[in-house]
Chains A and B, each alone.
Chain A
Amino acid sequence: MGQWPILSLTTFVPIVGAGFIFLLARGTPETVARNARYMALWTSLITFGLSLFIWFEFDRANPGFQFTEYAEWFPAWNINYRMGVDGISMMFVLLCTVLTPICVLASWESIRDRVKEYMISFLILETMMIGMFCALDFVVFYIFFEGVLIPMFVIIGVWGSGSRRIYAAFKFFLFTLLGSVLMLLALIAMYLQTRDTNIAILLATHFDRDMQIWLWLALFASFAVKIPMWPVHTWLPDAHVEAPTAGSVILAGVLLKMGGYGFLRFSIPILPEATAYFTPLVYTLSVVAIIYTSLVALAQEDMKKLIAYSSIAHMGFVTIGMFTLTTQGIHGSIFQMLSHGVVSAALFLAVGVVYDRLHSREIARYGGLWNNMPRYGIVFMIFMLGSVGLPGTSGFVGEFLSLVGAFQVNTWVAFLAATGLVLGAAYMLYLYRRVIFGRLTKDDLKGFHDLSLREMAVFAPLIALVFWMGIYPNSFIEVMDASVAQLIENYEAAIQSAADEAAGAAAVALR
C-alpha cells in the first residue's frame, strides 16, 4: 500500500475519467449525456474511494509530509514533481473528493446542454484542486492553483444562468489572475534566492525582513482575493449568482479554501516576521469583512448573493483564527474552512433545489414552502443552523475555536468578530423565514414536489458530516493537531530568533 503513488492516483484519476468521457461518450445526444453522467459519477466515486485510503492510512502523530512522491522534472533547475500531504492539507483533499460526486449528482437533471463538456470540466477541475492541495513544489502548486481557474471560468461562462454571466466570469478571472501574477513574481523572487522550488526547502530558508515583507504582500494579493477578504471580495457574489449550482458548490466549498490554505502553507511558515508585522492588517480587514458583509447580507434580495456574502463573513473568522497563531485559533480556522466547505456547499445545493423548480433566485418569489416541502424545510434548517454556528453542528466548533484563539491575543478582535454571531443569526433566520415559513400563497410554488430520492442522496452525506463534525470534531482535530503544533513551534522559534538577532544588532550598535 505504502508503495503506491496514492496522491498522484487520486489527483489524476479524474482527468483520466475525463479523457474516457471525451473519447467514449458517443452516439445520440441523449446517450452521450447519459454516458457522460454515469462515467463522471463513477470516476468521482472511485476518486473518493482512493482518497479514503489516505484518510485511513494517514499517520496522525506525524507532523511532516506523508505519502510523499518524487519524480524528476527539470532537475537542472531544481524544479521537480513532488507530492505529499500533512495534517493541514489532507482533509482538504477529502473535501474535494467528497464534494465532486455530490456536484455530479446535483447536476444530473439541471444541466441539459453540453453535458459531456460539463462533466469533463468538472473532472478536470477536481484534478486541479486535489493536485493543488497535494503539491510540494511551488511550481507544481502554481500550475494547479492557476489551473483551477480555467475550468471554473468555463463553467461559469458557459453553464451560468444569468445574462451577466460573462461579466461575472471575467470579473472572477480578473481578480484572481491579478493576484496570481503577483504570486508568480513572489515565486520568482524566492527562487532567485533558493534556486529550488521544493516547498520543504522554502520552509527551511530564511528570507531577510524587507524581502519577507514584499513577498508577503505579493502572496497576500493572491490569497486574499481567493479567500476572499474585504475589499477584494466583490467578484464572489457575482460569480456565485451566475454560476450553475454545482459551480457555486465548488466555488464556496473548495476554491475559497485555496486562499486560506495558501496562507497556512506559504505566508505564515515561510514569512514569519512579515506575518507578525501584517497581523494587525489581517485582523482589521477580517473584522471589517465580518461586520460589513453580514450587514450587506441582511439587505440581500437574492438567495445566492446572501449566502455568498455570508461566506465572506465566515472566511473572516478563518483569517482571524489562523493569524492568532494559537493552537485553538489555527485549529478553529482550519475547522471552519472544512465546515464551511460542507455547510455553504449544502446551502448552495439547497438553493439549487428550488431554483431548479422555479428558475428564480429572488427571495420574494418564495414563501411558505414548509407546507408542500417539509423535508426540504428540515434539510435547509439543518444547514442554516450549521451556518449560524449552533453548538452541535460543525459551524460552531470552527467559529468558537477561532474566537477562543482571538480572545487570547486581542480582546477587541474577539469582541468585534463575535458580533458576527448575532448578525449571522439575523440574516440566516430572516432568509429562512422568507423562503420556508409563512402561508403558501404564490401559485407557481403550489405545484412543487418535495425532495426527490436523488436530492436526498445529495444531502444525506452532508447532513451526516455536519453532525459528525459538530458532535465529535476530535476525529478531525486530531488529524491536524501535530502539523499545527509544528507550524506554531516553528513560527515562534523564527520570531524569537529574529528578536534575538535584533537585540544582538542593537547591542553591537551600542558598543
Chain B
Amino acid sequence: MEVAAVFLPLAGYLIVALFGRTIGDKGSMAITSIAVCLAMVLSIVVLFDTIGTEPETIVLFSWITSGTFDVAWALRIDTLAAVMLAVVNTISAMVHVYSVGYMHHDKFKPKFFAYLSLFTFFMLMLVTGDNLVQLFFGWEGVGLASYLLIGFWHERPSASAAAIKAFVVNRIGDFGFALGIFAVFVLFGSVQYETIFANVATLADAQFNFLGVEVHALTITCLLLFMGAMGKSAQLGLHTWLPDAMEGPTPVSALIHAATMVTAGVFMVARLSPLFEFAPVALGFVCIIGAATAFVAATIGLTQFDIKRVIAYSTMSQLGYMFFAAGVSAYNAAIFHLMTHAFFKALLFLGAGSVIHAMSDEQDMRKMGGTWRLIPYTYALMWIGSLALAGIGIPGVFGFAGFYSKDLILESAFGAHTVVGDIAFWLGIAAAIMTAFYSWRLLFLTFHGQPRADDRVMAHVHESPWIMLVPLMVLAAGAIAAGILGYSAFGGEGMHAFWGDSLAEAAFEATEHAHHVPFWVKVLPLVMGLGGIALAYLFYVQMPQLPARTVAAAGPLNRLFFNKWYFDEIYDAIFVRPAFLIGRGLWKGGDGAIIDGLGPDGLAATTRVAARRIAGLQSGYVYHYAFVMMIGVVVFVSWYLYAISG
C-alpha cells in the first residue's frame, strides 16, 4: 500500500509521458488525476495505520554499493513520513483536479499534468527515503520538476530565466547539502537514518577538520545540511528564486512553491532532529535565520502589488516561522504549521489563481478591485484562507488552522527562554501583525473599492467552474478544521502517542514549555492579527489616501522593502556578472593568450622562424611540428640521462 501510494503518481507520469499523444488531453488529465487521487486515499489510510506503530522500512532494491557506502531505494514509513505523505498527496490531488479547469485553454495539457505527477513522485521519494542520498534524490528531483514547471511557458523569457534561477540557487544550497552528506558519511560510516541516530550520542563531542580548521563535527555537519534546507525553503540569503518562481502557472505555485516542495527544508530538519539536537549552535543558527526570514519577507510582502508575489513572500515568511520553531527544538510545532500552512496557502494561491482567471490573466492588484459580488465563492474562500493565515480564532472555542499552529510556534519560541528564542519570538510577533496587514490589504485591493480594471475586463469577470471550486472547498475545509482537529495529536496531550520516535525527544519538552507561557504570550499573536486587520481596514477602506502618504513619509524604507532589500541587484553584481566576465577572461586570456600563446601557437610561430633560418624547410605545418618534437625529444633525453647519472 505504501509502495502504491508513492509509485502511483510515477505510473501516471510514465503513462502520459510515453503515450500522451495517443490518449489525448482528456485521457492524460484523467489518468494523472485519478492516480494521484488514489494515492491520496491510500496515504490517508497509511497515516492512520502508522500512528502508534513501530517505524517500518520497505527496501525496494539496492542503489549504490561502493565499499562501505551502501544505499538502497527504500520507503521508511513512520509518523513523520506518513504525515508528509498524506499532506503531499492530498494537496497534489486537489491541485491536479483544479488544474483541469485552470489549464483549460492551454495547448500542452498532457505535459503539464505529467510534470505535476512527476513532481509528486519525487516529493514522495523525498519524504519516505530511509537515507540521506534518497532524500537528496527526491530533493534534486523536485528541483527539476520545479524548474520544468516554472519554465512551463518557456516562450516567455522571464519564465525561463526564473526557471534557471530556481535551479541554480537551489544547487547552491545543494552544494552545502552534498558536503553535509559527505560529512555524515565520514563521521558515521553510513548515510542511513537508523545508523546515524543510533550513534549520534557517541559523537556528541567529536572534532573534525573542515577546510583546515578543527571544528565541532556535528555543528558543521548540521550547518552544511541546513544550507540545503535554506535553498529549498527559500530562507534569507538563498530566497531570491522563490518570488521569481511565480512565473509558473498558478497551480504550480500552490503545489510546489507554497504547500510542499518549499517545506522540504523544514521536513529535513525535523527528519534529522536527533542529529540537530546534538548541534545546539547549528540550531541557534536555524532559529535566527528562520526568524529573520519571517520578518524580512513580511516587510517585502507589505509593499508588493502582484497578487502572487504577495502570497509568495507570505510563504517565505511562514517558512521562517517553521524554521525558528525547529530552531527551538519544537519540531512538532514546525510540522504542525507545515501541515496547516499547506492547506491554507494552497487555498490562497488557488484562490488567487481563480481571481487571475476571472480577471483575464491580470495579476496586478492595482488593476483589480470591486469584484467581490462577481466572484462570491472565490471571495469567501480567500477570506477563509486569510483568516487561517493570520491565525484568527476565539481562544478556547474555535480557531482557524493557523491560530493553533502559529501560536504554538510563538509560544515555543518564548518558552525556550533563550536569547535566540526571544529574538525569534519578537520578530515573529512583528511578522504576525504584518501578515494580517498584507493579507487584508490583498483582500481589500482585490475585491473591494471601485473597479480599477477597464470595462472589457470587468464585463468578463466570472466565477470559476466547479472543477476549480470543489478542490478549493476541500482545502478550505482543511484551513478551517486542520488546526482544531490536529492540535492534540501534533502538539497537545496526544503528541507522544502520535509522534512516537519519529522526532527527537526534545520536541516534547519544548512543547511542554510552550504550554506554560504567561497568558499575555498566548493572546499577543491574536491581538497582533486583529490589529493588522484593523490597520489594513483603516488604510485601504476608511482612508484610501493613507497608503500614498505613508509611502511618501517612509520613502527610503519603502524603497528598501519594495525592492526586496536589493538582494537580486547585489547578487547580480557580486556573482552573476563577474562569473560571466571571468569566464570570458579565462577563455580569451587564459586559454587563448597564455596557454596557447606560450604553448602550441607560440612554438609553431617560433619554429617557423627558426626553421626558416636553420634549414629552409618547406613551410608546411607538419615539418615544423616534427622539428619541434625532435628538439623536444633530444632535450628530454639529455636531461633525463643527466638526471639518472647525477
Contacts and interface: CB of A to CB of B under 8 A. Distances in A.
B616 interface: no
Nearest to B601: A171
A423 B167 CA distance: 11
A155 B174 CA distance: 41
Nearest to B161: A433
Tell which of B133, B137, B171, B643 has the most Cβ of chain A within 10 Å. B171
Contacts of B66: 327-328, 331-332, 401, 404, 477, 481
Interface residues of A, number: 73
Given A231-B595, A404-B185, A185 B600 contact: no
Interface in B563-602: 579-580, 582-584, 586-587, 590-591, 595-596, 599-600
Interface in A383-436: 385, 390-392, 396-397, 400-401, 403-404, 407-408, 411-412, 414-415, 418-419, 421-423, 425-426, 429-430, 433, 436
Contact of A170 (B178, B210, B595, B625): B625
Given A331-B67, A422-B168, A433 B155 contact: no
B640 interface: yes
A373 interface: no
B584 A421 contact: no
A474 B62 CA distance: 8
B1 interface: no
Contact of A429 (B167, B186, B636): B167
Contacts of B621: 166, 170
A370 interface: yes
Contact of A403 (B178, B586, B595): B178
Interface in A439-490: 439, 471-474, 477-478, 481, 485
Interface in A221-247: 231-235, 237
A19 interface: no
A408 B186 contact: yes
Interface string A288-310: 00001001111110000000000
Contact of A234 (B133, B211, B600, B633): B600
Nearest to B68: A327
Interface string A185-207: 10001000000000000000000
B137 A407 contact: no
Contacts of A292: 586, 590
Tell me if B's interface is mostly helix, strand, loop or mixed: helix
Contacts of A299: 580, 583-584, 587
B186 A407 contact: yes
Contacts of A276: none
Interface stretch (A9-17, A21-29, A111-119, A172-180): A172-180
B587 A300 contact: yes
A302 B186 CA distance: 41
A429 B178 contact: no
A214 interface: yes
B358 to A, nearest CB: 28
Nearest to B155: A439
Nearest to B157: A438
Interface centre among B65, B69, B595, B629, by most chain A C-beta atoms within 10 angstroms, is B69
Contacts of A412: 211-212
A437 interface: yes
A295 B64 CA distance: 31
A234 B599 CA distance: 9
Nearest to A231: B595
Interface string B606-635: 000000000000000110010011001100
Contact of A177 (B140, B179, B182, B629): B629
Given A185-B636, A299-B583, A234 B68 contact: no
Contact of A471 (B63, B587, B625): B63
B171 A178 contact: no
A367 to B, nearest CB: 10
B595 A414 contact: no
Give the dominant DSSP class at A's interface.
Answer: helix
B63 A472 contact: yes
Nearest to B582: A295
Residue among B137, B154, B596, B633 facing the most chain A CB atoms (10 A cut-off): B154
A287 to B, nearest CB: 13
Most chain A beta-carbon neighbours within 10 Å: one of B64, B154, B164, B168: B64
A181 interface: yes
A253 interface: no
Contact of B583 (A166, A298, A396): A298
Given A166-B621, A170-B625, A422 B640 contact: no
Nearest to A175: B600
Interface string B176-192: 00110011011000000
A421 B168 contact: no
A212 B63 CA distance: 39
B140 A298 contact: no
A182 interface: yes
A368 B209 contact: no
B637 interface: yes
B28 interface: no
Contacts of A438: 154-155, 157, 160
A235 B186 CA distance: 38
Nearest to B159: A437
B144 interface: yes
Interface in A245-275: none
Nearest to A221: B636
A407 B179 contact: yes
B179 A418 contact: yes
Contact of B164 (A390, A401, A423, A429): A429
Contacts of B629: 174, 177-178, 181
B175 A422 contact: yes
Contacts of B353: none
B644 interface: yes
Contacts of A430: 164
Contacts of A370: 154
B172 interface: yes
A403 B599 contact: no
B171 A421 contact: yes
B366 to A, nearest CB: 28
Given A298-B580, A327-B68, A422 B171 contact: yes
Contacts of B210: 411
A185 B637 CA distance: 8
Contact of B63 (A211, A214, A474): A474
Contacts of A419: 175
B136 interface: yes
B519 interface: no
B525 interface: no
B186 A392 contact: no
Nearest to B176: A418
A408 B172 CA distance: 21
19 contacts: A175-B600, A299-B583, A391-B136, A391-B137, A404-B66, A404-B182, A407-B179, A407-B182, A407-B186, A411-B211, A414-B179, A418-B175, A421-B171, A423-B579, A425-B167, A429-B168, A471-B63, A477-B66, A478-B65
Given A392-B137, A415-B211, A438-B155, 14 more contacts: A174-B629, A185-B640, A214-B643, A232-B599, A234-B599, A296-B590, A296-B591, A368-B155, A411-B210, A418-B178, A425-B168, A429-B163, A474-B65, A485-B67
Interface of A: 166, 170-171, 173-175, 177-178, 181-182, 185, 189, 211, 214, 231-235, 237, 292, 295-300, 326-328, 331-332, 368, 370-371, 385, 390-392, 396-397, 400-401, 403-404, 407-408, 411-412, 414-415, 418-419, 421-423, 425-426, 429-430, 433, 436-439, 471-474, 477-478, 481, 485
Interface of B: 61-69, 133, 136-137, 140-141, 144, 147, 151, 154-155, 157, 160-161, 163-164, 167-168, 171-172, 174-175, 178-179, 182-183, 185-186, 209-212, 579-580, 582-584, 586-587, 590-591, 595-596, 599-600, 621-622, 625, 628-629, 632-633, 636-637, 640, 643-644
Kindly list the 7 A-B residue pairs having the minimum CB-CB distance in the complex, ordered from nearest. A327-B67, A407-B182, A299-B583, A295-B583, A391-B137, A437-B154, A299-B584
